[in-house]
Amino acid sequence: MQPTVELRGLRKRFGSRQAVEDVSLAVPPGTVYGLLGPNGAGKTTTIRMLMDIIGPDSGEVRVFGKKRERADLDRIGYLPEERGLYRKMTVKDQLVYLGELHGLSRRQLDQKADAWLERLEIAHRAKSKVEELSKGMQQKIQLAGTLLHEPELLVLDEPFSGLDPINQGLFKDVLAQHKAAGRTVLFSTHIMEQAEKLCDHIALVTNGRVVLEGNLQELKRARGGNSYRVVVDGPVDTVRSVPGVLDVVQSNGSLRVAARPDVAGAELLKSLVAVAPVREFSSAEPTLEEMFVQAVRDAQREEPTDVDA
């Protein structure tokens, strides 16, 4: 089955800064795909190249199984990182305007706009001016405007930024419904916890490069052998000092211990017992954050270093 989105070797430089360096990824149809990484990693630049807002210096963008054309953008709903609404418009008029940009009729939009205002719990503000609303409510309007034309592909740049937990949950429900309808979602975020709950597939990006890409559960299973749940009687620093331990995170009364790939579980347990009483020890899938940290470290080790002549 052809990917809904396929990026092949995208590169983009701004002056002396290489913003995107050879980014390749494939977004399967009917999935939620996370483009993940810290601020400044190149996520927004990658999305802007996908949306033809800026052109790549090299590489290819393919959507719906072929090289992207301008007409394909009508099948995509795009929520940019920088929100853009007309502050003096009423909420309902703003949605009607956004829908008309996608070729919908006023008759269609009267019903669709009302339905989305109800779905996003802002129907009571339909006649309010945009400038009178909170940032979170404005974000709801922009999401509604992104979905009015029922896009096959939904592209969201940092959609959870500035939302309270209740509205984050509402956004997650909308994305889940979009996926359940057989459509595809691609979103960027630097919040690993959000991505871990939502994504089927991910690409981890740092310094403009993809350092890990694929099905999330398969990636977690492949790396689970080097992550362990540990309960010990003793200080955390004692565990951190054990040879072969890369990282230790406290969680719900236990420790999640990430070990070097070459350290076997039995070897790690033997080393732990030598420094502290161990009450529990079991294999654990790594968190997405742990996977990202390890992938970045691996990428840094692979980068060539300059040697003085």
Could you give the residue range(s) of every CATH 3.40.50.300 domain in the chain?
A: 5-207
Please, what is the end-to-end C-alpha distance for the chain in angstroms?
51
* 305 class by beta-carbon count within 10 Å (0-12 exposed, 13-18 middle, 19+ buried): exposed
Confidence of residue 163 (pLDDT cuts 50, 70, 90): confident
Mean pLDDT score, 206-220: 92
Is pLDDT above 60 for 9? yes
Could you read off the pLDDT of 232-273 as tens digits, one per residue?
998 999 999 999 999 999 888 899 898 988 898 899 999 999
Domain 5-207 has CATH 3.40.50.300: yes
Is pLDDT above 60 for 308? no
Distance CA 236, CA 86 (A): 53
- Which segments of 127-253 are extended strands (E)? 153-157, 184-189, 201-206, 209-215, 227-232, 245-251
Is pLDDT above 60 for 190? yes
Domain 221-302 has CATH 3.40.190.100: no
* 253 class by beta-carbon count within 10 Å (0-12 exposed, 13-18 middle, 19+ buried): exposed
pLDDT of residue 303: 63
Is the pTM higher than 0.85? Answer: no
Could you give the residue range(s) of every CATH 3.30.70.100 domain in the chain?
A: 221-302
Mean pLDDT score across all residues of the chain: 91
- Segment (H or E) for 300: helix 288-302
